[in-house]
A and B are shown apart, each in its own frame.
Chain A
């Protein structure tokens, strides 16, 4: 196989990317993500819950409409 496409190459690049993310993002932002933004994580959880509820309701109503097609309107 050519260089750069072997499975060991791909995981090597993924490790480098992870190291870069840790060095440039996680380490400078760690006090924010772990201490300052604790309540924002709670808010994001609330938002995720609302998104899940809306999508589930949409799926349910679409399944209901598909299974019981309405008669023609007058």
Chain B
């Protein structure tokens, strides 16, 4: 392996110019659109999937929360497609960059808090104190709940970054160790390659699950505040 462990995570440049925006804008190009009423099988499968995601995400919301359907559906499709494309060799995954995940998490979280404070200020503030708290603990618990509120966007971003980065790094390490052992010990290489195959399947699942978890948590924060 002639590339270092940092190479998959360097933001892409084309002849010295940053290409990160192009890489981020690329996954939607792979999703076909159709203006016809009756479509071919691929579009029908896509529409079925989007309808499934929509129903699963938005059933628990009220009318105000459902105005965010487009945002949440786009979010899960974008993160899932970006993560899955990142599993291809030599590709760059934008969601491994903390900057991008923070740029997704902070506006979404801040907008749910702003929505709560704007339309239901008293109820939003009462969320800072769980029900049934003993009186002496109230000041400390309010501080703890406030801190946990401000940690939410950081947790969202870091969770996605760490999961995807760690998975890619692990695949890189096990792949390079299998390659190094090929000339030395063939049975051990085969075992390592089996582990790598299982890990790749796991990473595919993690790519989809992390997209779901991110969107679900944003949806939960929205539900609390709408």
Interface positions of A (Cβ within 8 A of B): 32, 36-37, 39-40, 42-44, 46-47, 50-51
Report yes or no: A43 in contact with B103, Cβ–Cβ below 8 A: no
- In the assembly, what is the distance between CA of A32 and CA of B112, in Å? 15
CB-nearest residue of chain A to B107: A43
CB-nearest residue of chain A to B109: A43
Consensus secondary structure, chain A interface: helix
Report yes or no: A32 in contact with B70, Cβ–Cβ below 8 A: yes
- In the assembly, what is the distance between CA of A47 and CA of B112, in Å? 14
Interface positions of B (Cβ within 8 A of A): 67-68, 70-71, 102-103, 106-112, 114-115, 118
Report yes or no: B109 in contact with A39, Cβ–Cβ below 8 A: no
Consensus secondary structure, chain B interface: helix
Checking B67, B70, B71, B107 against A46 with a beta-carbon cut-off of 8 angstroms, the contacting residue is B107
Pairs A–B under 8 Å by Cβ, sample size 23: A32-B67, A36-B68, A39-B111, A39-B112, A40-B71, A40-B108, A40-B111, A42-B111, A42-B114, A43-B107, A43-B108, A43-B109, A43-B110, A43-B114, A44-B107, A46-B107, A46-B110, A47-B102, A47-B103, A47-B107, A47-B110, A50-B106, A51-B103
- In the assembly, what is the distance between CA of A44 and CA of B71, in Å? 14
Q: How far is the CB of B194 from chain A (nearest CB, A)?
A: 43
- In the assembly, what is the distance between CA of A39 and CA of B102, in Å? 17
Interface centre among A36, A42, A43, A44 (most CB of B within 10 A): A43
